[in-house]
């Protein structure tokens, strides 16, 4: 099938999202099939259990099976362990787990290679046929991907169902260069910087220009256009640039510090030449935080303000996403959402649908006022999607953007701390069942009566990487922090005990 034909068929399918929104956007009593393909179609390669764990990060989608007429096809590279599936199904509120299980269909190509999951499906026509057969009515079905590329568009066409996510033709809007241009056009404050850079000469020229505008600037951050979780970032120290400025900057570039420790200068420059990127002022201050805002645009053209988070960052220069706290501090949460809404309205005019997020840096000035700077748009689901939807699906609650609070259907405020990267070598001694045992016997398991507790995720990377994630839900920021710390403490003790036997 040629590209033009694929595009035409995809556009025709996407028109079905408008009548389908009645079933996607709210609980339904009509039968509807959701096909979940959490393919990581990214430049970075994920292998084996790590890839499987990220694909299983979307298992919160199983909570939609609390709607008795929803059917779900969930696809992963490898088969999901039955105990993990049972764990999620037994979290469903007011639903018989066996009834939900009959409406859940797990599909796996049994391919642990680093190829994107979407590619694995497209290479297996019989598997696509199996998925199509599980969709009883294509007019009552849609595809949910992780991020969207030409692969996901082709997959939607091959399955004959629309994709609830941004059309890949808008890919540039989610790049580092593209979002800076949108920030400028929509009047959203963002750091000094220059986009659409590719060569070493481009980088040197950009840094010279930025130094001319801000001579006392000490650090610049470089970002590859389409990398995620900060893995394409590098920090350039511009202090003590003297004499021949061009030569001095080139030397500073060769000494830059990469967020991904395995990267080397020549490799990074090669990535810049291939994919492009930006140079941006490294925002500093006495008090600085990294919040984010999450939104979605409906097929009806509406902009919905979903949530704000304070991101937990780590790595060599503090640019790697590790987790988040929800909601973001009310001192700046509503303010960043107002800025994000400007971009959301632009996306609505462009015809973009689906979930996306905006990352910010907020600095507290000497007058005690927070100044937010928009730094990027993630035109896809991300690390804050699964904890927020876990909370929303389990409590039937809503985030109120004007006041920066989340309240359940009972009117109770809720907070959480979540991580994707709780990783320690000693955790390799544990199994998912060990973690289930820890949270159960210590009464940390999510409780539907109090609507507090711990929800585990990304368990398939436990055995060989010693990594998993969890969301600690409580009635205050303080209680969420305490629950998170208590859970980690108890799992550490369980790992030590397992190693001593």
SS3 405: strand
Give the pLDDT of residue 59: 96
- pTM score, two decimals? 0.92
Q: Is the pLDDT of residue 142 over 80?
A: yes
pLDDT > 70 in the chain, percent: 96
d(Cα 336, Cα 352) in Å, to the nearest integer?
Answer: 20
CA count, 13 A, side-chain hemisphere, 79: 3
Q: What is the pLDDT of residues 27-49, one digit of tens each?
A: 667 899 999 999 987 655 666 78
Length of the chain (residues):
501
Which string of b and e fits 265-283 if b means at least 16 CB within 10 Å? eeebbebbeebbbbbbbbb
Give the pLDDT of residue 317: 64
Task: Let me know if domain 288-500 sits in CATH 3.40.50.800.
Answer: no
Q: Is the pLDDT of residue 229 over 70?
A: no
pLDDT category of residue 320 using cuts at 50, 70 and 90:
confident
Residue 201 CA, chain-centre distance (Å), reads 33
pLDDT (mean) for 360-372: 90
Mean model confidence pLDDT for the chain: 92
**Whole-number Cα distances in Å, 170 to 75, 163, 164, 349, 409:** 25, 14, 14, 12, 35
Task: Let me know if domain 3-171 sits in CATH 3.20.20.
Answer: no
Q: What is the pLDDT of residues 100-137, one digit of tens each?
A: 999 999 999 999 999 999 999 999 999 999 999 999 99
Residue 24 CA, chain-centre distance (Å), reads 20
Contact, 280 vs 338, CB < 8 A?
Answer: no
Give the pLDDT of residue 489: 98
Q: What is the pLDDT of residues 387-432, one digit of tens each?
A: 999 999 999 999 999 999 999 998 999 999 999 989 999 999 999 9
β-bridge mates for residue 73, sequence order: 35, 105
Q: What is the pLDDT of residues 277-303, one digit of tens each?
A: 999 999 988 889 999 999 999 999 999
Give the E-state strand segments of 24-146 in sequence order: 32-37, 70-75, 104-107, 141-145
Give the pLDDT of residue 106: 98
pLDDT (mean) for 89-104: 92
């Amino acid at each position: 099938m040629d590209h033009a034909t694929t595009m035409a068929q995809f556009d025709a399918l996407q028109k079905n999202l408008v009548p389908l929104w009645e079933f996607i956007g709210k609980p339904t009593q009509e039968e509807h099939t959701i096909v979940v393909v959490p393919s990581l179609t990214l430049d970075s390669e994920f292998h084996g259990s790590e890839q499987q764990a990220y694909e299983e990060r979307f298992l919160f989608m199983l909570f939609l099976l609390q709607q008795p007429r929803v059917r779900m096809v969930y696809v992963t590279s490898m088969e999901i362990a039955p105990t993990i599936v049972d764990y999620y199904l037994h979290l469903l509120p007011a639903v018989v787990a066996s009834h939900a299980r009959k409406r859940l269909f797990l599909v796996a190509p049994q391919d642990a290679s680093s190829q994107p999951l979407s590619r694995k499906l497209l290479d297996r026509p019989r598997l696509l046929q199996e998925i199509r057969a599980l969709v009883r009515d294509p007019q009552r079905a849609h595809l949910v991907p992780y991020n969207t590329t030409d692969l996901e568009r082709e997959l939607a066409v091959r399955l004959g169902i629309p994709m609830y996510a941004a059309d890949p033709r808008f890919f540039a809007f989610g790049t580092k260069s593209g979002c800076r241009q949108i920030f400028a056009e929509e009047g959203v404050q963002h750091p000094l910087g220059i986009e659409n850079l590719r060569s070493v000469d481009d980088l040197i020229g950009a840094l010279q220009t930025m130094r001319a505008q801000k001579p006392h600037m000490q650090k610049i951050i470089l970002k590859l256009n389409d990398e995620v979780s900060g893995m394409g970032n590098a920090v350039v120290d511009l202090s003590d640039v003297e004499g021949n400025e061009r030569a001095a900057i080139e030397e500073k570039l060769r000494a830059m510090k990469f967020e991904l420790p395995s990267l080397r200068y020549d490799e990074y420059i090669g990535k810049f030449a291939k994919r492009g990127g930006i140079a941006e002022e490294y925002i500093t201050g006495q008090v600085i935080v990294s919040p984010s805002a999450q939104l979605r645009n409906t097929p009806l053209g509406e902009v919905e303000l979903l949530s704000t988070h304070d991101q937990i960052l780590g790595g060599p220069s503090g640019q790697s996403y590790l987790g988040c706290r929800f909601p973001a501090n009310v001192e700046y949460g509503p303010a960043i959402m107002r800025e994000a809404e400007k971009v959301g309205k632009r996306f609505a005019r462009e015809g973009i649908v689906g979930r996306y997020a905006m990352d910010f840096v907020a600095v507290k000035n000497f007058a005690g006022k927070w100044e937010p700077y928009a730094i990027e748009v993630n035109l896809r689901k991300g690390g804050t999607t699964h904890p927020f939807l876990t909370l929303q699906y389990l409590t039937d609650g809503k985030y109120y953007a004007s006041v920066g609070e989340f309240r359940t259907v009972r009117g109770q405020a809720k907070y959480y701390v979540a991580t994707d990267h709780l990783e320690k070598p000693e955790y390799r001694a544990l199994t998912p069942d060990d973690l289930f045992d820890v949270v159960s016997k210590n009464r940390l398991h999510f409780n539907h009566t109090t609507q507090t507790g711990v929800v585990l995720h990304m368990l398939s990377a436990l055995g060989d990487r010693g990594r998993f994630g969890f969301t600690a839900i409580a009635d205050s920021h303080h209680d969420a922090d305490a629950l998170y710390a208590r859970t980690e403490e108890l799992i550490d003790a369980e790992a030590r005990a397992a190693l001593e036997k």
